[in-house]
Amino acid sequence: MDVQKILVMNGGGDAPGLNAVIRAAVKRAILGYDWEVVGSIEAFNGVLDDPMRIMKLDLHSVVGLLMRGGTILGTSNQGGPFEFPARRPDGEIEVVDRSDELIRRLHRIGVDAVVSIGGDGSQRIAQGLFEKGLPVVGVPKTIDNDLGATEMTFGFQTAVETATDAIDKLHTTAESHDRVIIVEVMGRDAGWIALSAGLAGGADTILIPEIPFEVDHIALHVKRRRKAGHHFAIIVVAEGAFPLGGTALTVKQREPGHPNPILGGVGRWLGDELEVRGFKHTRCCVLGHIQRGGIPVPMDRLLATRYGVAVVDLIAEGKFGHMVALRGDDIVSVPIRDAISHYRNVNLDHNLVRTARGLGVCLGDRVPAS
């Protein structure tokens, strides 16, 4: 396949390191293959908008991006070409399939291949477009580190550092006031951020979606700490964690063009439950989108850069329908369909889980031995 022009897009939530991927992909495409590079603004919305919002990406446009957070292309987690939100004459929102129109528009502007940077949802879209004949390759992106077929996604390490820094700061105020402080972090279905930051920040209790918790176990654990002379406690909870027999709390239900409901509120709910059990003045701190922002740490910059170079090489090799991935210390390619075929949850026998239990950290499903 004779490639002259490629398009780069990123979809879903932003993640530290997105700009580093864009920078590496542009430099590799221009310096290595003399290709023209353009970017679609706000996922594929830029291609589907009238007029199209397409950004020329040259070597000058990527200067200084390595350490810059966010993404110069913008991003969107609303809809997609297969479920594009459109307003009907009666004012209601419906979703329409604009995937064929997207492919026609890409052909019209001379795009020979597409680099899709995104998580599970974005890669499912990429796989669907590939099955329709679009030459597309993928880069895994999610701060939750929950995409299958790769051992690490960029942005995760920065999110963990941000959450750990917050936990460190909350330790001092919790100890000063003899308080229970709950830190709610991101993690819809996977508890990698909560588990990693909780361990790194010395949390007493860590609650993740993979392990339904019982409030009474948590309360008893805190009481035992107080009897032992520790009059404060730090509880880290992933936004998708839920009590045994319950479900994850949502702040907003799914709407047309939105793939998932918005989770949140479990930290405040848990605080109320603990106050009922005698722990007055419990406080909750919700980190939210703070975890997505900021300057990417060196490890995320390196991984993003390696991904950006490798994904352009996939195009040169004609390996469409594939995604770059980290395996051991090497960057490999895997079929996108394999990457989206399974979710990367925290295995209950994972070393991080065993480490937490070995330290006497309460995971909510039992009371650690005193």
List residues with catalytic annotation.
Answer: 144
Kindly report the three-state secondary structure assignment for every residue of 234-301.
EEEEECCCCECCCCCCEEECCCCCCCCCEECCHHHHHHHHHHHCCCCCCEEEECHHHHHCCCCCHHHH
Burial string for 42-62 (b: 16+ CB within 10 Å, else e) reads: bbbbbbbeeebbbbebeeebb
Question: What backbone torsions phi and psi does residue 164 show, to the nearest 5 degrees?
Answer: -65, -40
Name residue, tokens 């479990």: 266
How far apart, in whole angstroms, are the C-alpha atoms of residue 108 and residue 299? 39
Compute CA distances 27 → 32, 299, 308, 319, 325, whole Å: 8, 20, 9, 20, 20
Burial string for 239-250 (b: 16+ CB within 10 Å, else e) reads: bbbbbeeeebbb
Compute CA distances 141 → 25, 49, 309, 367, whole Å: 14, 24, 15, 36
Count of CA atoms in the C-beta half-sphere (13 A) of 212:
7
Contact 296, 156 (CB under 8 A): no
Angle, to 10 degrees, between the axis of helix 266-276 and the axis of helix 215-227?
A: 60
Token pair, residue 276, equals 């009922």
Name residue, tokens 């604009």: 98
